[in-house]
A and B are shown apart, each in its own frame.
Chain A
């Protein structure tokens, strides 16, 4: 830098400088050719691949999700259907149970009523039999009284009858109390 070389032709080509330049360029070219550009290109391709792959994967996942959704939908509908069927069945069963119970209850009621009827009949029969026996005794007593007393007039006659009836009544009352 200190002091200048003698004036020379501006359009000079120095062989040494030219060779140095070529060596420098060869170094850079070797680096770029062997190292930089192949790696960058490879990486760019990888990036393009990964982006494409990502899109592909997303599409696949979407399809899978759609399929799954369809499946769930079908299952849900199936569940709804079976639920309705179960409900139907249950209501039928409950109706059947109610009908059965009602029948049973009616049968029971009929049975009770019949039993009551039979009891009443039996009681009536018993009462009739007792009454028949008592009526005979009472008739015999009444006849003895009528025959034993002198029936002067109709007034006395009716008195006798009344007394007899009163006795009869009190007697039946006593009898009823005894029973």
Chain B
């Protein structure tokens, strides 16, 4: 990312600390569109494809990380847990007691594998954003949250039809109970829009947008700090520039820690909403 920001900062013309040099240009959304590798560049020929980009590589890294985590923590399970096993138990029990049980209840334990893998996968993809040299959250590309939201969309509709029956489920989902008959022509379209179109869209976009914005924020701090660092600008301007870029670095570090919290929180929220949707579909209205 530093190469990106360096490039970005190098464009433009002139500024306070670099008289006659390039002016500051904030990182654009272009940082979310890494070029594909040439051997994977089929995006020119096919619409709605990107080719093998940095996102795909980071997806591979994140997936390997989760697979390794699962293998490493569950190699030798015993009744008396060691430290590795305790981590896995912590994750599984966290998802069960904080997400699955409050949203679906005890009968939701059968969705525990889905929720656990969802949580681990999203958190691993998010955390790519603060790992040095990788530094691009996979979920800042809408394709990945959209895929997961689609999985949950299909899952909760299937659960609803299976547990309530086709007619009963859709009737319960789009016709609000207790509403007077004359308002139904207005309410039913709204409910359809809300439950079957906006819900999966917001489910995906919430995660994507948070990661996107967080990454852009970090990139801005990094680019600004890098741009302002010019001790050769004279005794006064040099000192000020170093102080400015120092504070930008400090903010970058603080926001990186903040990002980590948000990455965890978004993984949690996505999983929580998935559990909520499944739980709602399972129970008759």
> Does A143 have its Cβ within 8 Å of any Cβ on chain B?
no
Chain B residue contacts of A43, Cβ below 8 A: 77-79
Choose one: A21, A22, A25, A32; the contact of B116 (CB below 8 Å): A32
Choose one: A16, A19, A37, A46; the contact of B79 (CB below 8 Å): A46
Chain B residue contacts of A7, Cβ below 8 A: 28-30, 33
Within 8 A of B (CB), among A8-60: 8, 10-22, 24-25, 27-29, 31-33, 35-41, 43-44, 46-47, 50
> Does B99 have its Cβ within 8 Å of any Cβ on chain A?
no
Are the CB atoms of B148 and A36 closer together than 8 Å? no
Chain A residue contacts of B36, Cβ below 8 A: 5
Chain B residue contacts of A6, Cβ below 8 A: 33
Query: Residue-by-residue, is A99-118 near B (CB-CB < 8 Å gives 1, otherwise 0)?
Result: 00000000000000000000
Are the CB atoms of B30 and A4 closer together than 8 Å? yes
Q: How far is the CA of A80 from the CA of B29 in the complex (A)?
A: 97
Q: How far is the CA of A41 from the CA of B146 in the complex (A)?
A: 30
Chain B residue contacts of A17, Cβ below 8 A: 49-50, 53, 55-56, 59, 141, 143-144
> Does B120 have its Cβ within 8 Å of any Cβ on chain A?
yes
Q: How far is the CA of A24 from the CA of B142 in the complex (A)?
A: 16
> Does A147 have its Cβ within 8 Å of any Cβ on chain B?
no
> Does B179 have its Cβ within 8 Å of any Cβ on chain A?
no
Q: How far is the CA of A132 from the CA of B28 in the complex (A)?
A: 174
> Does A2 have its Cβ within 8 Å of any Cβ on chain B?
yes
Are the CB atoms of A37 and B113 closer together than 8 Å? yes
Chain A residue contacts of B56, Cβ below 8 A: 17, 20
Within 8 A of A (CB), among B234-271: none
Chain A residue contacts of B77, Cβ below 8 A: 39-40, 43
Residue of chain B at shortest CB distance from A49: B79
Choose one: B34, B73, B88, B113; the contact of A29 (CB below 8 Å): B113
Within 8 A of A (CB), among B107-148: 109, 112-114, 116-118, 120-121, 138, 141-144, 146-148
Are the CB atoms of A13 and B151 closer together than 8 Å? no
> Does B51 have its Cβ within 8 Å of any Cβ on chain A?
yes
Query: Residue-by-residue, is B33-53 near A (CB-CB < 8 Å gives 1, otherwise 0)?
Result: 111100000110010111101
Q: How far is the CA of A170 from the CA of B112 in the complex (A)?
A: 146
Q: How far is the CA of A47 from the CA of B85 in the complex (A)?
A: 13
Q: How far is the CA of A80 from the CA of B49 in the complex (A)?
A: 98
| Interface residues in chain A, defined as those with a beta carbon under 8 Å from any beta carbon in chain B | 1-8, 10-22, 24-25, 27-29, 31-33, 35-41, 43-44, 46-47, 50
New A-B pairs, 12, CB < 8 Å, besides A7-B30, A39-B74: A1-B3, A1-B35, A5-B35, A8-B33, A10-B142, A13-B142, A14-B49, A18-B150, A28-B117, A29-B114, A37-B92, A40-B92
The 5 closest A-B CB pairs, nearest first, are A17-B143, A33-B113, A32-B117, A21-B147, A24-B63
